[in-house]
Structure 1
C-alpha cells in the first residue's frame, strides 16, 4: 500500500475507521469524484480551456473545502500564459486541488458558499423568496437545520430560474444526494 500511495499521491484514500464519520465519508467521495473527473479530462486531452473549465466546475466545492487554496489555485490558472504547457501545469494544479479538497468543509464555509450561490438568483427571486433563502441559510449556520435544507431550496429555485454556470457546479451535485449524509451536517 505504501508503494501505491507513493506512486499515486493524489489518489483519494482514507483510513477505514475514519469513513464511519459521515463528513469524512462525504469528503472522500468528493475527492474520488474529482479524481475520476480528472482522469476523464486527461483521457479527452488536457488543454488550457479544459483546465480552466475543470476549475470553474469545482469553484464552489473548493471554496467550501478550502477558501484559501481556492484563491491560490485561481491565481495559478489566472496567471497561465500561452507559453505555459497545460501538460506541465495541469498535474501541479490537480495535486494542489486534491490536497485542498482533503480539508472538510465547515458550517461557516458552507454558509459562505450558499450565500454566494443564492446571490446569483437575487434578481430572479421575489423579496419573500430571498428572505426565506437567507433565513434557511441562517438556520443552517446556527445548526437548527441540516445543510440539505437550504441546499434543496436553492436547487428548487435553480430549477425554476436556470443558470448555466451554476448548473455545472460540482457543489450542487453532492455525493451525499443518495447517501443522506447532508442531513447529518
Structure 2
C-alpha cells in the first residue's frame, strides 16, 4: 500500500472520443478537454468510444435526439428525418459494453448533453415537442446499469474542482480495490485494505465508515463468494459522496490526536491554526495535509503513514490545491 497509485498495468479510462479532440461529432468537430488530455492523460490510458460513429452514422451527420413517445418509451431518432436508431444503438451498446469489461476500465468520462453519451439532464422531447431535462443517453444508461460501481462522470462536471477531485480519487480507489481483489486475497488482506482507507471513508461518509467497519469485523462469518461484491458496492458508493470541508476538518482533527505525544506547544498550535484556516476557507486542503505528511514522516507514525487519505492520487495533479 505504500505506492498508492502505481500498478503493474495501465490505468484505463473509457472516454467519449470527441473529448480527446477526435473530430467525430455530428458537425465534424470535437470537444477536446484540456484537463483530460493534457493533465489527467499523463497518468492514464484512454479507451475512446463514439457510439454514434460506431453504429455507422458517420461525420458530418444528421443530429439526433431523444424522444419520449406516448407509451413513455424513449427513442433515439434523427432530428430531420425521424429515422429511428434505438434498436441499433441498444444492440451496439450491449456488445460494446461487454467488450469494455475486458479492457479493465477504472473509470469513464462521458460527453454531457449527448443523446447517446450524456449521463444526466439530457433533453428528452415529448409528443408535444416540449423538452424536459430528465434523460440520459442510451449508451450512457446501459454503461451505468452494467457497471454500477465504476467511477463515471461527465466532462462538464469536471470543471468543478470538488467534483474533479472526487472523480479522480474514485478512479484510483477503484483501481486499488480491483487490483486487490484480482489477487489471491485473504480476509487479513481485506482488513488491511479497509484499514488504510479508513480516513478516506471518514471524509466521505461517516455512516459508511462505521457500516463497512462492522462488515469487515464480521467478514470471517460471511460466505467468501459474497464478500467481494458486498464490500465493493458500498465502498464505491461511499466515495461518490463529496468530502465536505466539515468532514475533512473532522479527519484532520482526528489525525491531530496521533501527533499529541510528538508535538510541542508551538508546533501543535501551528497545526491547529492551519486546520482552522482551512475550515474558514483561507487555505486549500493541501496546506494542512502537507504539514501532516511532514510530521508523519518525521515521527514515523505507522497508522497515518499508511493512510491513503494523505495521498489518494498523484500529487502532480494538484487537485487538493483547489478544494
Aligned counterpart in structure 1 of residue 219 of structure 2, from 66, 80, 83: 80
Secondary structure (helix, strand or coil) at the match of 1:10 reads: coil
Counterpart residue number, 1:105 = 243
Counterpart residue number, 1:62 = 201
Q: 1:46 touches 1:87 (CA, 8 Å); kept in 2?
A: no
Q: Give per-residue Cα distances to partners, 1:131-152, cap 9 Å, x unaligned.
A: 1111110111111111111111
Aligned counterpart in structure 1 of residue 316 of structure 2, from 175, 178, 183: 178
Following TM superposition, the consecutive aligned residue runs of length 4 or more in structure 1 with deviations greater than 4 angstroms are: none
Displacement after TM superposition at 1:158 (Å): 1.1
Displacement after TM superposition at 1:176 (Å): 5.9
Hey, what's the Cα distance between the residues in 1 that align with 2:279 and 2:212?
A: 27
Counterpart residue number, 1:131 = 269
Gapped runs of 5+ residues in structure 2? 1-138
Between structures 1 and 2, the one with greater strand share: 2
Counterpart residue number, 2:173 = 34
Aligned counterpart in structure 2 of residue 143 of structure 1, from 281, 286, 291: 281
Counterpart residue number, 1:5 = 144
Gapped runs of 5+ residues in structure 1? none
Equivalent residue pairs, number: 184
Secondary structure (helix, strand or coil) at the match of 1:14 reads: strand
After superposition, the CA RMSD in angstroms is 1.4
Q: Give per-residue Cα distances to partners, 1:28-59, cap 9 Å, x unaligned.
A: 11111111111111121232111111111110
Counterpart residue number, 1:24 = 163
Displacement after TM superposition at 1:181 (Å): 2.2
Higher RCO, 1 or 2 (CA under 8 Å, sep at least 6)? 1
Hey, what's the Cα distance between the residues in 1 that align with 2:238 and 2:296?
A: 27
Between structures 1 and 2, the one with greater helix share: 1
TM-score under structure 2 normalisation?
Answer: 0.55
Q: Give per-residue Cα distances to partners, 1:11-35, cap 9 Å, x unaligned.
A: 1001221111111111111111111
TM-score under structure 1 normalisation?
Answer: 0.93
